[in-house]
Every structure is written in C-alpha cells, then in structure tokens.
C-alpha cells in the first residue's frame, strides 16, 4: 500500500518557500519517557521540521560526550527498544513531521532486520540513519526498508573521497547527511571554511536533498549552513538543554523549545 512520503513532502515544501528545513536531534527517552515526549512536542511546536531521534545505545561510537551522556540517561531510566517505538507512536497522535532514527546496526540486526523495519514502519518512522553501516554492507536493510517504504539515509564526510560519493548516493534515499566536521558530534564555535564547495561537489552527483550537521549551535551558523544546504541539523545544542535542566526536568521542554525557536530564527535571517 502506497503511503505518504513525509520526507519528500517536507523538502518539496521547503523548496517552494525557498527555505532550508530545520532538523532537530534529541535522544529518545532522555531523561525519561514522559519528559522526552513533551520535549518532542515542544520541538515541533517551536519550529522543528524533522525529528531525528537517537536510539539509546551503550556504545555510540559516532557520538561526542553530550550525546553519550544522553543515551546513558535514557538507558538508566529504563528505556528499551519498545519504548522508542512507543515514543514515535505517541508523537504520531499529534504530528505528521518526518521522524528518522539515528541508530547503530547492532540494535537493528539483533532484533531481526525485517522485523525491526516492520515495527519501525508501523510505529510511524520515516527513515533510518544507521551510523556504522556502510552502503556496501547495507543490502539486507535496504531490501527490508524498500518493502516497508522506509528511507535509508547515509553520511558523507569531509574525508569521503569524491570517487566514493556516487556509490553512497546510489544507495541512499530520503536525503543525504553531510557531516560538516571530522570527528564525533558536539558543538563547535566555527564552521568549515570550504562547506559551500563540498556541498557543490556532492550535488554534482545527486538530486537528493542534502542536510548538514555536526557542530551547529547558533542562529548565525544555521543561517550560514542554510545558504548552502537543504536542511540544517542541530543536536548537541539541544541535548545540552536537557543536561542543564535535570534539577527541574519538567521545565526542560519549555527551555528546549525556546532554544530551537532561537536557532530557527537563523533560517529567515
């Protein structure tokens, strides 16, 4: 059965408006399920166009300390994979924004690839960004995802040889994720000076929307990235709002909403 492609619909709408999409990353169930649900509601209400939900994992190799601690908080709060799917189902009761999982392959493989993707689709997930799965090893996941009409997002890094880009874009769907900096996730004070050139080189190989993340933490940086890309990803700056509000968790959703609203102001600056 044909379903709505929320990701394609979002980027088409953004193109019509001449504006980049704002992609917000938070870790699912951080600091607990109930607060996490209200955080997601606040993000959507205050301007997030797409939710990137980190799936809590005990060994998140691509993540910096901020996101590692978020995953640890979620796991210590008792978060299981069932809770992550439940979180998506609850979000779907009030929003149709695209939702992708930022995850690791062991979490998918250990539950059975076909079963995992089917459960993700039934919950309302639109795409999977599997950090440690290269395109060459992704056939089983891609086949299962195609059956369920779930997108597979792949990463291109500053260290990716240009000769490898065609292989990545041929495998990807939904959009491409360009990592603006080498290393792990985390806030940065400045952006890569050659960002525009890098994005132009990738666009020569694909018509897929291109979003940029890793290190973006101010409206000025959002504005700069949005001038080159189809979407801007902010993660650590939002996750830090959770960490700073742990003494009064019920206030976190409002604070993180204020943060995302300020960051989104860069899109129209």
Condensed to tens digits (0 to 9), the pLDDT of residues 191-215 reads 556 889 999 999 999 999 999 998 8
Model pLDDT, residue 187: 44
| Alpha helices, H only, the chain | 6-17, 33-45, 65-76, 81-91, 105-109, 113-123, 139-148, 165-171, 195-203, 219-226, 236-244, 252-264
Band of pLDDT at residue 184, cut at 50, 70 and 90: very low
- Full residue range of the structural domain in which residue 102 is found: 6-267
- Cα of first residue to Cα of last residue in the chain, in angstroms, is 41
**How far is it, in rounded angstroms, from Cα 232 to Cα 69?**
23
Position 1 in a domain = no
Structure tokens, 144: 């299962």
Annotated catalytic residue within 30, 49, 63, 126 = 63
Question: What total number of domains does the chain contain?
Answer: 1
CB neighbours of residue 166 within 10 Å: 12
CATH of the domain at 226: 3.20.20.70
**How far is it, in rounded angstroms, from Cα 39 to Cα 242?**
9
Task: Please give the full DSSP string across 168-189, using - where no structure is assigned.
Answer: HHHH--S-EEEESSSSSS---S
**How far is it, in rounded angstroms, from Cα 189 to Cα 191?**
7
Active site includes 52? yes
Residue 28: helix, strand or coil by DSSP?
Answer: coil
Annotated catalytic residue within 52, 90, 126, 187 = 52
**How far is it, in rounded angstroms, from Cα 7 to Cα 209?**
10
pTM exceeds 0.85, yes or no: yes
Band of pLDDT at residue 60, cut at 50, 70 and 90: confident
Percent of the chain predicted with pLDDT > 70: 94
Active site includes 114? no
């Amino acid at each position: 059965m044909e379903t709505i492609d929320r990701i394609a619909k979002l980027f088409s709408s953004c193109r019509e408006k001449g504006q980049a999409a704002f992609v917000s990353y938070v870790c699912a169930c951080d600091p607990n399920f109930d607060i996490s649900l209200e955080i997601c509601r606040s993000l959507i209400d205050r301007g997030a166009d797409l939710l990137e939900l980190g799936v809590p994992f005990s060994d998140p190799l691509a993540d910096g300390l901020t996101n590692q601690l978020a995953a640890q908080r979620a796991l210590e709060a008792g978060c299981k994979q069932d809770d992550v799917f439940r979180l998506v189902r609850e979000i779907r009761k009030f929003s149709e924004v695209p939702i992708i999982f930022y995850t690791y392959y062991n979490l998918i493989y250990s539950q059975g690839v076909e079963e995992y993707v089917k459960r993700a689709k039934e919950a309302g997930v639109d795409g999977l960004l599997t950090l440690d799965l290269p395109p060459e090893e992704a056939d089983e996941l891609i086949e299962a995802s195609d059956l369920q009409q779930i997108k597979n997002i792949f990463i291109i890094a500053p260290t990716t040889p240009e000769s490898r880009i065609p292989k990545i874009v041929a495998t990807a769907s939904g959009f491409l994720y360009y990592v603006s900096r080498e290393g792990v996730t985390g806030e940065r004070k400045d952006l890569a000076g050659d960002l525009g050139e890098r994005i132009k080189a990738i666009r020569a190989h694909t018509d897929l929307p291109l979003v940029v993340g890793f290190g973006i933490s101010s409206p000025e940086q959002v504005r700069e990235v949005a001038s080159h890309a189809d979407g801007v990803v902010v993660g650590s700056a939002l996750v830090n709002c959770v960490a700073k509000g742990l003494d009064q968790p019920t206030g976190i959703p409002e604070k993180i909403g204020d943060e995302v609203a300020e960051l989104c102001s860069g899109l129209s600056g």
